Amino acid sequence: MRLLVLGGTVFLSKAVAAEALARGHDVVAVSRGVSGTVPPGVRHVVADRDAGLPAALAAEPFDAVVDVARRPSHVRTAVAAVPHAHWVFVSTINVYADEATPGGRPGTLPLRAAITEDADGPEPATYGGAKVACEVIVRAGAAGSTVVRPGLVVGPGDPTGRFTYWVARLARAAEQPDTPVLAPGDPADLVQVIDVRDLAAWLVDLAEARTDGVLDAVAPPVPLGDLLAEVAAGCGAAPAWRWAPRGALEAAGVVPWSGERSLPLWLPRPELGGMAAHDVTASLAAGLRPRPVADTARDTLAWLRATPGATVTGLTAAEEAEVLRALDGRHEG
C-alpha cells in the first residue's frame, strides 16, 4: 500500500508511520518538520498545510491517507488533493456534545455544532467543533473513509503527560511504599484509555481493509481503581491508596484531568461521567486490540526514564503531600 500520513513526526501519527513501514508499506509523511522527525525509512515531505498540500503529492497514486489535523482548512485542501484514496481521519471523543451519559457510541450521542472556519481560540472551546467539521469534509469528499474517535491516548512518547503522571507517581510509590498515594473520586468511576501503539496498528488495519464507518477508539471502560492498580503493577508498586472525594479535592484546590495542580484522569461526575465510559463493542468487532494497561505502564516508565525532559503534568510531590495533610485535617475535623 502507498500510504500518505499527514503528520508523522509526533506521538500517534509517528507511530502510524512506523507501524505502516514495519508492515512493508510505502510511507510518505507531510509536516513542517518543527515538532520532530519521521521514523527512519519514511519519506518526509516538508510542507506547511496552511498553504495546502504540495501539488506534486496530488499526482501520486496513494491508496490511503491517515490524517490527524485539527484545522478544517487543512483537511479541506488535502481531501481535494487526494480524493481517490481511502481516508482514515483521526478525530476525538470531544466531538460529542453529551459528556455525561455513559455507554454512548457513534450514532447514540449528539455531536457538537461544526466549526467550519479555522479558529485560534483556546483549544477546548473549539477543538471538538472543528473536528466535527473535519469529519464532515472527509466523509463527503473522500472516495471512502473511516472516522476514528480516540479517547485518552497513552503510552511511550505521550506529549501530554497525563497517564505519565500516574506512571511517575507509582514508580515513586515503589520506592516509598509507606506513603499513601492520593487518588481522585471513587475507585468505581469508569475510565478508558488506548495505548498509542494499539491505536496506530488499528489505524493501519483500517487503511489496509478500507473499512467504512465511524468508530470510537478506546479500550473498554474499567473502574479507575482497577486501572490504577494495573499501572501500579506495571511500575512494581503496591501502594496504600488515599481516595479523595470530589468536594475534598475541590476544597484543596485540585484540578481535574490535566495541567498544573491536577490529578490526571479525574473526571468530575456526573457532568463528565460519559467521557471515559463509551461502549466500544463495534470497535473491538472492527479489530481494535487493546493490550493490558500494566504493559503500557511498564513501557511508559521505561520511556520516561530514558527521556530527560519528558512531559509529566499534575500535582507535584510537595502539592500532593500538602493535599494529603489537608485531607487528614479535614477528616479529623
Ligand X SMILES: NC(=O)c1ccc[n+]([C@@H]2O[C@H](COP(=O)([O-])OP(=O)(O)OC[C@H]3O[C@@H](n4cnc5c(N)ncnc54)[C@H](OP(=O)(O)O)[C@@H]3O)[C@@H](O)[C@H]2O)c1
DSSP strand pairing (86-90 vs 64-67): parallel
Please give the Cα distance from 218 to 224 (Å, whole number): 15
Report the nearest approach of ligand X to the CB of residue 247 (Å).
Answer: 28
Kindly tell me which of 90 and 206 has the beta carbon lying closer to ligand X.
90
Kindly tell me which of 96 and 243 has the beta carbon lying closer to ligand X.
96
Contacts of 261 (CB under 8 A, 6+ apart): 253, 254, 255, 314, 315, 319
Closest CA to 282 of 190, 195, 206: 206
Interface residues with ligand X (CB under 6 A) are: 7-13, 31-35, 48-50, 68, 70, 90, 92, 150, 152-153, 160
Please give the Cα distance from 57 to 241 (Å, whole number): 54
Report the nearest approach of ligand X to the CB of residue 308 (Å).
Answer: 21
Kindly tell me which of 192 and 211 has the beta carbon lying closer to ligand X.
192
Dihedral, CA of residue 167, residue 173, residue 174 and residue 176, to nearest 10? 150
Report the nearest approach of ligand X to the CB of residue 209 (Å).
Answer: 20
Q: What values do phi and psi take at 55, rounded to 5?
A: -60, -35
Kindly tell me which of 153 and 232 has the beta carbon lying closer to ligand X.
153
Kindly tell me which of 85 and 154 has the beta carbon lying closer to ligand X.
154
DSSP state of 171: H
Report the nearest approach of ligand X to the CB of residue 38 (Å).
Answer: 8
DSSP strand pairing (255-257 vs 190-191): unpaired
Kindly tell me which of 25 and 49 has the beta carbon lying closer to ligand X.
49
Closest CA to 216 of 85, 102, 64: 102
Other CB atoms within 10 A of residue 297 CB: 29
Report the nearest approach of ligand X to the CB of residue 12 (Å).
Answer: 3
Report the nearest approach of ligand X to the CB of residue 40 (Å).
Answer: 16
DSSP three-state, residue 8: coil
Report the nearest approach of ligand X to the CB of residue 236 (Å).
Answer: 25
Kindly tell me which of 71 and 172 has the beta carbon lying closer to ligand X.
71
